[in-house]
Chains A and B, each alone.
Chain A
Amino acid sequence: MTASPVRPGPVYLAVLVIATCGLVYELVAGALASYLLGDTVTQFSLVIGMYLTAMGAGAWLSKFVERGVARRFVEAEIAVAFLGGFSAPILSFAFLSPRWFHPVFYGLVFATGTLVGLEIPLLLRLLRTSVAFKDLVAQVLTFDYLGAFAASILFPLVFVPRLGLFRTSLFFGLLNIVVAFATIRIFRHEIGPPGGLVAKAALVGVLLLAGFAGADRLSDIAEEQQYADEVLFAKSSPYQRVVLTRNKAGFQLFLNGHLQFSSVDEYRYHEALVHPAFGVVPGARRVAVLGGGDGLAVREVLRYPSVDEITLVDLDPMVTRLARENPLFVSLNEGSLLSPKVTIVNDDAMKWLEKGTDLYDLVFVDFPDPSSFSVGKLYTRHFYGRLKRRLAPDGAFAVQATSPLFARKSFWIIDRTIEASGFETRPYHAAVPSFGEWGYVLAAPRAFEIPARLTPGLRFLSDETLAAMFSFGPDMARLEAPVNRLHDQVLVRTYESEWRKFD
């Protein structure tokens, strides 16, 4: 195919654009590296060095392009659009994996640099026959450097503040696509039938546009991938991320990504939490439920006519509102939180215990697992000490205490901590398929017997199986465990290391 003369003006414009894009990708990589890894000087130096080296490699590689120069140029352009355009999202997702970040980062910088390095030599060759060599070099390099200048000014002052880093890189990817289309048109005589090229360019263009439109949703997408099922509700309260999902079997509540219950088997969990304690304090009148804003433990408590006052203390109004208003919740908790016996207090349980002085016959402690220090404090000797002050002398309380199988030591730390706070304890366990083997601690500020009889009509618990719940097989048996304290939250550390093995 013979090269036919082209008007150089639009091509110079293309040079300006691709030079701007090229430098923007370099700046995106440098900015991300310095803010993710710190040590700005090193990161920027490394990025610039690697990028320039890669551009040199690209320039060298250009000599291996023998024929179809225009076609190769367009292909390089599409590839740059893709790699450069998605560089910010790719790098920030890669950062989530410490193992992959560095290879991905340097690989991406080098690949983008190589492609950008290919661009100018190929363009020079395309214009060779249309423009005198001295003018060609002067013009192309002028626009190349002008583009770099434009990028260096616009990137920090206009694009990043207005668009953010994600959209900036996606936007410049789109500009590369525009150049690709323009080149296809300008060099249509050399390229011949452009069908495949147009399709590729259009595909990358659409992807970039979609990314651009959905930049805000990128984090949401990442979140939804965690859940296998349909997401019914997903909102952030000031305290946590609240997500409700549904599948064929029923619906599930997640707080900060941790499953709180599944409607399929939550009755096992909640019956086990509530009923054994009623065997210790049969005529309980005043009951407090700490945590458990879903109203499911309260539902079980309401089975006892002797109870005439229930105080539910849950930090997050979003959860208690869901439990009162969402039809799925209301049907599952049988409208427990709408009962006139129930008072809802949205407060920190520790603060609530410290503030009041009135006593309770039974307290149910249903907090999320101790996976963070701020929840871990609700499993300390200090917490149980405060709880003791709010418990009637002949009262008792029950605590959900994570899995004695998956987090055996954590479970026994909780038991030991309660004991060290001046209680007799009776640890027990039950199988909840959604969670696995689950543990509880029943405690009272005096000696007491394991309950022998339960209220009739339960779905899961029975008098016959009750005694078995209080005995632990060898793989869950008691371990020597330290006391968990506010200033030495050994539970959070143990819990994290134990569950890491299973996650």
Chain B
Amino acid sequence: MKSSRREAIAALVGLPALSAFLGACRRNQVGAPFGGVIAGADVLRGHRIRTGELLSRPVARRESVGAAILGAGISGLSAAWTLARAGFTDFRIYELEDAPGGNARSGENAVSPFPWGAHYVPVPLYGNPALELLLSEVGALTGRTPDGEPEWAEEMLCAEPEERLWFRGLWYEGLYPRAGASRQDREELSRFEREMLRFAAIRDGKGRRAFAIPRRRSSDDAEWTVLDRISMREWLTRSGFSGARLFWFAEYATRDDFGSSLDDTSAWAGIHYFASRLRGVSPDGPFEEPASFLTWPEGNGRLVKRLVQAAGGRIVCGAVVFDVVPKAEGATLRWLDVPRNEVVEVTARHVVYALPRYTAAKVLAPWREDPPAFLRSFEYAPWLVANLTLSGRPADRGFPLCWDNVLYDSRGLGYVVATHQGDRGHGPTVLTYYLVFAGEEPRKAREKLLSATWRELADAVLADLSRAHPDLPALVTNVDVFLWGHAMARPHPGFVWHPDRTALEQPVGRIRFAHADASGLPLFEEAQDAGVRAAEAILAEEGERFTSLLG
């Protein structure tokens, strides 16, 4: 096998790094020493909505439900969780895919469970009742100290070592490229951190933070929201930052959280990434550590599991909802039952529209005729996620294997290690690799992704990682690739606080919009908050008694 030859060569050379070079020389000759598939959203199902072909299909059966929830991503599942908590069980979730979870879906093999998308949640630093409740249900929030501070399960907080960066041939701790940084670079970083702390410490006249999670708790004073109109790059430049290292560091954050470059990210959203994760006790106080992460081998799949359990079997997968018509007493909707290949019509008193917003132009009847202009502003970054199963750990030069491992000179975002929590440091593991097409026209990137073969994608992933891990090809036993055509809406300049976008958050009759898209920031907390809000509005309208989870 080629892989063992490579290993032998690497051993001969005595310098593992060199075999990256060899790998590069011989990439074209390599056979297929490992297996794998392309997993991912079923492009064809979505496509059937786009063509409108389903609209003329006859209805095979009819059903009625109190609340129809469209989409079993975090938002739809959270709506269901909220309804179920209040004892309102007359709901059903319709999910296009064969499994619930949306961007937080996960998988599992003989080695470990692993994420297919979102893989962590920062601990809420300044209260978030819905999130805290969910986290206590999964055992992550174990109690409170006498002064009311939440106590987190140590084994679910991201274990040390947390992050490292492959930079100039060595691994370094942390994500900022510190090695060889000049005094000016270091001063810029500390000024940047000071600026973020200052933003985190802002409270407006109503006591609201300028940058809060969830977003709706942020101040809407123009003083801060005006930052949404310029790009993060422009803000950095205007603020006098110029070092390549700081720009890289800031862009890593926007690529990682939003799938967008510094130019494609609104300054408000870019600052939000940093400032919302600090307590912001005092702008002049000591530097604060950003919020710790909660993470699990299957990523946010752990939270999905709990939410699915709460939905209690009311999830219909393989359900392609293609038409939603608002009515005086609710809505009717039609969906294609994929396994039976028949169309079902549903009469619902309430609808939670927890699908990505771009779909509404094809699904929501009034918008099919006359789509709101702002819908076109939703831009979705395509992502590639690959899960690499390894027979052992790659050799390292520098700081040891972390949870998050990032390569400086890479278009990829690096990888997280599924077995990191409670890891023994040896033996087989699963690496989850993320690649986002930031700074590229989404449609072109999407086409490029969807037209590639598994072999090409897997080789591209290995080629990227082999620069830091020359021995990787010899360790890989499987590479599964997941393509997210429309992973998340980019908070580009003018997006988050645009009045037309916030207007789109308003319900259409009894159709309420959930989904992270409703907030403009692609975050777990936003998705959950939107779902909880939609469900609480339904509960209020139904006259149910419930305690609100909205802080």
By a beta-carbon cutoff of 8 Å, the part of chain A in contact with chain B is 31-32, 34-39, 92, 156-157, 160-161, 163-167, 215-216, 218-219, 238-239, 315, 348, 350-351, 372-374, 376-377, 380-382, 385, 485-489, 492
Contact = CB atoms under 8 A, between A and B. Distances in A.
Nearest to B467: A38
Interface string B511-538: 0000000000000000000000000000
Chain A binding site: helix, strand, loop or mixed by DSSP?
Answer: helix
Given A31-B18, A487-B159, 16 more contacts: A32-B18, A34-B21, A35-B21, A160-B13, A215-B14, A350-B422, A373-B400, A374-B425, A376-B160, A380-B154, A382-B154, A385-B154, A485-B154, A486-B157, A486-B160, A487-B162
B168 A37 contact: yes
Contacts of A216: 11-12, 14
B169 interface: yes
B64 interface: no
Interface in B399-446: 400, 409, 421-427
B25 A382 contact: no
A374 B169 CA distance: 23
B14 A164 contact: yes
A31 B20 CA distance: 11
Given A35-B21, A238-B426, A165 B15 contact: yes
Given A238-B427, A486-B159, A487-B154, A160 B167 contact: no
B418 to A, nearest CB: 16
A486 B170 CA distance: 25
B13 A374 contact: no
A164 B424 contact: no
Interface in B2-29: 9, 11-15, 17-18, 20-22, 25-26
A161 to B, nearest CB: 6
Contacts of B168: 37-39
B158 A160 contact: no
A492 B160 contact: yes
A374 B422 contact: no
B392 interface: yes
A35 B20 contact: yes
Contact of A315 (B17, B25, B170, B424): B424
A486 B20 CA distance: 33
A315 B170 CA distance: 29
B169 A167 contact: no
A195 B292 CA distance: 73
B154 A35 contact: no
B155 A163 contact: no
B154 A31 contact: no
B161 A373 contact: yes
Interface string B123-161: 000000000000000000000000000000011011111
Nearest to B15: A92
Contacts of A374: 400, 423-425
A88 to B, nearest CB: 8
A297 to B, nearest CB: 21
Contacts of B425: 239, 372-374
A486 B167 contact: no
21 contacts: A34-B21, A35-B21, A36-B15, A37-B168, A38-B168, A38-B170, A92-B15, A160-B9, A164-B9, A166-B13, A215-B12, A216-B12, A351-B424, A372-B400, A374-B400, A380-B154, A485-B154, A486-B160, A486-B421, A487-B158, A488-B160
Of A32, A34, A165, A350, most buried by chain B (CB within 10 Å of CB) is A165
A401 B9 CA distance: 42
B21 A487 contact: no
Nearest to A166: B14
**Interface-centre pick from A377, A485, A487, A492 (highest chain B CB count, 10 A):** A487
Contacts of A166: 12-14
The winner among B9, B17, B168, B421 for most chain A CB atoms within 10 A is B17
A35 B17 contact: yes
Contact of A486 (B15, B155, B426): B155
Contacts of B400: 372-374
A160 B22 contact: yes
A157 B22 CA distance: 9
Contact of B9 (A161, A372, A485): A161
A32 B21 CA distance: 10
Given A38-B168, A373-B161, A487-B159, A165 B13 contact: yes
A382 B422 CA distance: 10
A382 B155 contact: yes
Residue among A35, A156, A376, A381 with the highest chain B CB neighbour number at 10 A = A35
Contacts of A239: 425-426
